[in-house]
Chain A
Amino acid sequence: MKDLHVDGLGMIYELPDGGSVEALKDVSFDLEPGRLLTLLGPSGCGKTTLLNILAGFLSPTSGTVTLGHQPITGPAPERGMVFQQGALFEWMSVAKNVSFGPRMKGVDKAHTAAQVDSLLGTVGLQGFGDKAVYELSGGMQQRVALARCLANEPDIILMDEPLGALDALTREKMQGLVLKLWKETGKTVILVTHSVEEALYLGDKLFVMAPRPGRIEQVFELPFAAQALTSDARKLKASAQFIQKREEVLSMIWEMEEQIMGHGGE
């Protein structure tokens, strides 16, 4: 398991009209292995930019990112990625999607097949291996995406609004699955979300980010993800402690939104 170390990260996008946007400014943090970090903030706060830098899809303008003392220079299988939707390969069966990473690496077929079976069981899709992915509902497709990511045995799993396209009920169920996988695998997870409730419920650590320039505004250490393993999800989300945190974070974000509007808005 590897430490994630982010130091003085800055990202400036040049605009075609000659201007520039400071998507990230001086972002620094350390993340120990096995944490579940959620990133929350109004649009333009740079949370997706940060995730894309961690994934290796973007190269920052300044600063460094290292995972286990190795600098991140591009995408690599040690950092798995789960997208909002549309990232499954619809020309492959569910099983072929899940086994994509191992197959590309040339891992032994029998070993991969056993691994796929076990992973499909873990995400609640036993017996769906031969189905076409486009035959599945949105929630089931995200289960496939999670299994595909896990099959590669990454050190860290990056999730870009993985549940954002799902209906409310499916979303709640999938939150449970994310927590379950996090606990069972002990992997580091970084999850971007637009939902305050989701950020509080899933994160055992939360960064509330602010825009212009994109930065980490406040860091929360949260107890809910740990509690969720023993208590009921609805009760937890209805508890006084949860509601108080939710309102605190919501008003922070509202304040940011109003400042943006005051500056001409988007």
Chain B
Amino acid sequence: MTTTNPLENPGSQDTVRPPIGKKPAQRKTVTFGDGSEVTGSVPWSVISLVGLMVVWFIVKVGGDSAMVNDRTFPTQGQVIKAVYDGFTEGYRNVNLANNTWTSLWRVIQGMFFAIIIGVPVGFAMGLSNTLRGIFDPPVELFRPIPPLALLPLFIVWFGIGELGKVMLLFFAALWIIIIGSRAGVLGVSKSKVHAAYSLGASKLQILRHVILPNALPEIFTSIRVALGVCWGTLVAAEITGAEVGLGAMIFAAKNFFRMDVVVAGIIIIGVLGVAMDFFMRFLERKLIPWRGKG
């Protein structure tokens, strides 16, 4: 090796890391226990999905018991027809698209208000001892309460209309968002904040350019968790006093023993949940590409 004076050539030799996500061709001998090697397999996922359908089919064909019979267990064809009929004729005078959109819209409204209120409150709790002291008791007290336990109160206070349901979803999501935002603020590294101060940034600039972007990954995670909780809460909430909505449709269908409609509703909720999570992950990649790379 030749010696070079580092003063003459202060390092043009550092290498750039390979782009994230693109694995270089490797010949690893150890893959069991290596998390980076476990990224899933599309062919096996397809087989798994087909397998689930086959199990459904077999149980249906082979089963004629108290649990599995024509009244309790719809065929795939019946469910597909229920979905088709739902979107064309509707069920009990309500189109399936209307049911789906109504439920989705309730979730969106509840989440919207939870984010609008929850993020600033979480930030306040992460930035000020006084505000942390003020908000800690309500957050810690309300957080463990299952939203459905409050349903009777919410119906009395806000009525059986849209407001009561949106308020319930807001309540279900709020604490999760507050705690996620607070954690995001508290997770900012001291040296980043110190660096920003040394570079002459004001408190407001540090909030905008350092603390907020640093907290975004945690906020996104809390939004994803809250979305899941909202769907669970919504369907249960729609039992009471709702004419329209996927939960309302499912419970109405149950009363008339329309198990095909029940299963159709369940599947639509599942697909919507997956689609929303995909959308959130897409947003994450677009908005916070630095996630986990600090």
Contact = CB atoms under 8 A, between A and B. Distances in A.
A79 B197 CA distance: 10
Contacts of B269: none
Contacts of A83: 191, 194-195
A80 B201 CA distance: 12
Interface stretch (B9-17, B115-123, B149-157, B244-252): B9-17
A121 B14 CA distance: 15
A43 B20 CA distance: 37
A143 B10 CA distance: 10
B200 interface: yes
B7 A180 contact: yes
A89 B206 CA distance: 11
B290 interface: yes
B10 A174 contact: yes
A231 B7 CA distance: 9
The size class of the interface chain A forms with chain B is 35 or more
A176 to B, nearest CB: 3
A172 interface: yes
A16 B191 CA distance: 24
A189 interface: no
Contacts of A88: 195
A135 interface: yes
Contacts of B6: 172-177, 233
Contact of B294 (A90, A105, A177): A90
Interface string A66-100: 00000000111101110110111111000000001
A137 B15 contact: yes
A91 B290 contact: yes
B11 A124 contact: yes
A196 interface: no
A224 B135 CA distance: 58
B11 A139 contact: yes
Contacts of B12: 124
Contact of B202 (A104, A140, A152): A104
A235 interface: yes
Contact of A132 (B5, B189, B214, B290): B290
A266 interface: no
B7 A101 contact: no
B189 A87 contact: yes
Given A86-B192, A86-B294, A229 B17 contact: no
A263 interface: no
Contact of B10 (A86, A89, A176): A176
A51 to B, nearest CB: 11
Given A89-B210, A172-B6, A177 B11 contact: yes
A86 B191 contact: yes
A234 B3 contact: yes
Interface in A193-245: 228-229, 231-235
Nearest to B205: A104
A104 B200 contact: yes
Interface in B184-216: 189, 191-192, 194-202, 205, 209-210, 213-214, 216
A29 interface: no
Interface in A13-64: 55-57
Contacts of B191: 83-84, 86-87
B104 interface: no
A176 B7 contact: yes
A43 B89 CA distance: 77
A74 B3 CA distance: 44
B194 A55 contact: yes
A1 interface: no
Given A90-B293, A135-B16, A57 B196 contact: no
B247 to A, nearest CB: 39
A179 interface: yes
B194 A57 contact: yes
Interface in A169-194: 170, 172-177, 179-180
A38 B202 CA distance: 30
Interface string A139-178: 1100100001100100000000000000000101111110
Interface string B16-27: 110110000000
Contacts of A136: 14, 16-17
A233 B198 contact: no
A126 to B, nearest CB: 9
Interface of A: 55-57, 74-77, 79-81, 83-84, 86-91, 100-101, 104-105, 123-124, 131-132, 134-137, 139-140, 143, 148-149, 152, 170, 172-177, 179-180, 228-229, 231-235
Given A137-B16, A173-B13, A176-B7, 6 more contacts: A75-B194, A77-B199, A77-B200, A101-B199, A137-B17, A229-B7
7 nearest A-B pairs in the assembled complex, by CB-CB distance: A176-B6, A77-B200, A134-B293, A173-B11, A177-B10, A75-B197, A101-B199
